[in-house]
Every structure is written in structure tokens, then in C-alpha cells.
Amino acid sequence: MQVRRYDDVWIEGTGSYLPARRETTTALFGEAAADLITLTGVESRHVAADDEATSDLLCHALRPLTEAPDGSARPVDRLIVATVTPDHPSPGTAPLVAHRLGLGGPPAYDLTAACAGAIFALDDAARAIATGDRRVLVGAAECRFRTLQGAPPGVRVLFGDGAGALSVVGLGSATPPRYPPLRLVATALSSDGSGYDAIKVPAGGSRMQTTPETIASGLNALTMEDGAHVFFKAVDGFTSIAADFLAAAGLSAADIDLVVPHQPNLRILERVSRRLRIPLERFQLEVPHIGNVGGASVLIALDRALRAGRIQPGQRVLLLTAGAGYTAGVALLQATDKVTP
């Protein structure tokens, strides 16, 4: 694992969007709901409307970040979208979002790293800032729920829809933020392809095309053949990258004021809390009421933490993700009083 450190990369703003429709686990699963809630901690989730796609969710989350306080358009040098549920298999969703937001034609592209996608995109944005970009927008969104109709209840209960967003800037481009300025201190990413088959959508790609038979067999839905194995591998993914990252940064668990994790399910996060010896009270927990929103989860949780006033100047914030592939990503943020070198 390589830790990449930054001196002049800042989070200028955050955003999030959850569809208006809300589905409770009780309404969806009836008598089985109590057991499913006990197993996962997911009580409800937001579900995209029939006429909403991933690009629509992204536009809602990103649009406020494109406007300066005086209403003028902020220049954007790049847009990176993390998703595994694009509007279409091809082309990417990012160019459409950039067009709809009126960004003027900057490089716009999709990135796929499952539930760790937002941190992969943040790392990519930070590297772009370090090599000359002034402002990079990062969006992560999923319309996962509609793709799960053929999945078993134990999988369907986990997921919801939504979008999160960041504006990432260099020191010279930062404008007074609404929240305490957040400096990006460092990032680290990892992947392990030995777990590639553990969580996947088997059909719809070049390995297995979509056919009436694959649809009837549920092969176009997310599959997770060994849920217990995935559970423990997720815990290992979270804790391993966090422990290695903190050691490389010369920090301990006591130095972290708030953990903002990807939200896979509540039981995974409870175990991660124990393994890292960071009290669950220092985790930003959104999963009971939004479910697993894939790569968007961590950005939605960060936006909500900021809006709730949980992040104050002087605090260290750890963004922590793990996902299919297997992939994992971590980022350290430092809240400050003002934007300084």
C-alpha cells in the first residue's frame, strides 16, 4: 500500500442527494423484515423514481458545487464520476452530467471501483490538482435498487439509491467554504483480485452477454454467493487498510476524531469499530436509514457530518471504504480554521 501525501489539496465543498421515495424494510419484506433488520441494521432506504437515472442523481448532488456565492459559474477543469450503475453500459455517464451542468466541456469520465469508488476518484482528483488542475468535481452515485429484483432478500435489503459530491481544489483556487475548511492530508488505495468473484453482476459484460436466459436466472442482478465470507472480508478490508494507513502516517486510533465510512451494513461497521478500537460514537453512521449506496455512501455521510456540525477545526477525519473486486481506499482530512499553506 502506497500512501500519497498532499500539501495544497482542499475539499472546497460537499453535496448529496437522496431520492424522495423512501422504502422501509418492513414494507418491502413483511414478516421477514425483523430478521433482516437484525442481520443488517438497514431499516429503510431511498429509491430512485422510475424516471430518475444515475445522471439525474449526480446533477442534483453536484449542481450546488458549480455555482459561486454570487450565482456565477465556477470554472471546472475535470469531472470524475464513480459508479457501477451508469445510465448505459456505454458511453460513460460523466460526459452527460458535465453537459447538463453546463461545465463547458472539461474532461469527464467514469471510474469503477465498486464501493471504494469515491476514494479512488478523490485520489485521482488530488493527483490532477497536484499536476495543475484548479478545480475538480467528484461525484459518486448509484441506482442500485432497481437492479436487484432477481436478488435474494438478504442482498436486496442492503442497498439504496443516492449520490454524493465533492469539489476538490488547489490552494490558489479555494474560496471561503460553508463549513470548516478540509485539507486533504493523504490517501491510500488497494485492490485484491483474488476476491473478484465474491460480489459481482455475472451477466451484461463481455464474459457473459445479457440474454433472456440470464435475466430469468437472475444473472443480471448482483450476486453474493457466500454472504458470511463477504462479511468477514469486508471487515478485513476496512481494518487492514485503516491500520496500515495510520501506521504509515504515524497516527493511532486515538488521533482520529471522526471516521466517515462507506456504509455496507451496520453489523460490519460495529465489528470494524471494535477491531480498530475506535468507539462507534466516533463513526458517522447513516446506513440504518439510507442502506448501502455503494460508492456514494461515504460522500453522503461526509456531507451529512458537515451539515450536522460534527466536524470542527482541529479535528482529523478518516474516510474509509472497502468494496467488491476487492477494493479499498482511505483518505485523511484535517479540518482547519482557514485555508493556509
Which residues are known catalytic residues? 115, 262, 292
Question: What number of H helices and E strands is found in the chain?
Answer: 11, 12
Here the cell at position 274 is: 471494535
> Please, are residues 278 and 101 in contact by the beta-carbon 8 Å criterion?
no
Q: Are 42 and 77 in contact (CB under 8 A)?
A: no
At residue 23, φ and ψ (nearest 5 deg) are -120, 125
CA distance 269 to 237: 12
In sequence order, what are the beta bridge partners of 329? 189, 321
Give yes or no for a contact between 55 and 6, defined as CB atoms under 8 angstroms apart.
no
Contact 299, 118 (CB under 8 A): yes
